[in-house]
Structure 1
Amino acid sequence: MLLKVKYQGTKKYIRLQSGFTYLEFINEVKSKFGLPDATDLQIFDETDTAVDEDILLELIESNPDLCLTMVENALLRKPGGEDVLEEYKSENTLTHSTRRHLVNILTSHMTEMHGRIVPRQQKEKYALGIITLFPSLKDPFSPKGYLNQDFLLLFGGETASKMLEKWDTAFKYKVIKEAKQLTQSKELCRLLNAAEKPTENDDTSKSGRKRSKISASDAVEKMVHFHKSCCSIDEHLRGRKGQQPYILAAGRTQNKIDNFYIVVDKQLIPCQATSSLGAFDELFKSHYVFNLSYEESLVQLYTFVQTTVYNIDVTTTDESPRIRELRAKLLN
């Protein structure tokens, strides 16, 4: 029996006897591609679905023209990788620091194997590998299960955690101080008062600027919507237009939010975060995970967050002089 197998972009035929075992298949693949015996391989079909040992033979017999993709388990080749596997084995989860270490290991492996600019398809394959090896990390509400993992692999653990780690300590009070120097209005005073309240579910307002001016309240309307818990979410979604993502905050009152959601093209994705800051972090990341452009009227705001908070594409992004000036004030 001849089977097509792909490893790191190279396709080869392998020959196996009828009724072969899983181990025979793996050993033949290693021999054909010159891989060490200790190499740990994962198998995926043409839809990037992981193939388990107990269905391999049945899958091949039902589709003999199938091309199987072999992916090496990078964790066993990198320092600290076995520690990650051991922690998950004992705890059935990973701590935040270990998850960052996991992503750093895989990001390094991707760069070694595919160069500095890694194709999106490869990043998604690695993200799929994460939730295959660590099922409890899967996001059940993301279309592919790995919204946060995808962003982590795009930019690394350090970048992905910047908003939550640095906003309160490095940015929030500097932004408030800068806002107090603007021309004061009733609306601006309301937003400043809300921003200074030490509550978890404070107003998630962000006073954005756009190329043609937009008020702070209009900016909030583009980014955050409150939904009363007793009302139908489906009815809310049917009444919305546009594809740009926004936050849907659901609760009994605006001061008591029970759940946050990201709405993308009328699709509801529950946030893992329980705070307004965490919800905004996921809102920003959704633009990259789903390859969406920024809302036109919020381009300046999102660009500021992109370059100043996350440090993404700082030198190649078209920024206004005001954003560059503000970044200099906040970071110096």
Structure 2
Amino acid sequence: LIEDVLGTSSGGEEFLQEYHTTQTLTDATRRKLVNIIVAHMIDKHGQLPSKAVREEYALGIVTVFPSLKDPYSKKGYEHFYDAASSTGYISWRLKTIQRKIRRGHASTRGPNVRRSIVVDQQLDGDAYQEAISLLNHTTDSSVIFLKMRETFQNRQKLIYDSDKTQDIFSIFPRFLDTKGLINQHFTLLFEEEVSNLLLQKWDPFFRDNVIKEAKRLTPTPERRRMLQAAESPGSELDEAPTYDQEMSALLLLLYLLPPPPGGPRFPKISASDAVERLVVFHK
């Protein structure tokens, strides 16, 4: 196995030549050898190869390079891979690669990543300011939806500007009193197919699991009321709930999410405070 890997790898023959000449490998050469072996392993078996695969490669190394065998260990190749502790050169190299992959993924996704979105008929300049003014005064829902769509790109710029994000609802207050605007914005952001996934999976999968996990939290009067409302229709409750079934389940999700890191500009808040900020009722 190892000879085949080295035979098809660039520079692989150099390892064999060095070993035949010196009957050993230097630390630098051994590191390069492990890198090539692990690269081949990932190519053939994925980023999380099984223990059996790792042991096969470790055994192969000390078979081809006998002087690298550890005479004081049980199998002789535990320093390359020890299944009992998941340590050794092979494991460490795999972890390094996985860590680099995670970092790469983290830098290309998340709420701070600017998505490439093209929405036609977007307003700018004076036309944008006129639309903002009209939105603050009109009661025609068709006009509201149209102007909110035409100001989408400018609104995205505000969202990505940390100094202006908190002004979104003051600049676009119709989010607070016009049902469907958030859904329209979400659809423009992710397109129809993606934006419908949460709603499609919420009832059959997410909702029940949110309730199940919320029951494991330390009970408080507020959480008990939300759980009761999330599990039972309003007509079955002794008193009118603050939120309906769906909203109660969504708010329970807040208690399950890890809190964001605090900072001088955005201090940490409790889940109950987050509920008050997430949902605003207008009578």
Higher relative contact order (CA 8 A, sep 6+): 1
Scaled by the length of structure 1, the TM-score of the pair is 0.26
Higher strand proportion, which one?
A: 1
Greater fraction helix = 2
- TM-score (norm. length: structure 2): 0.29
Greater C-alpha radius of gyration? 2
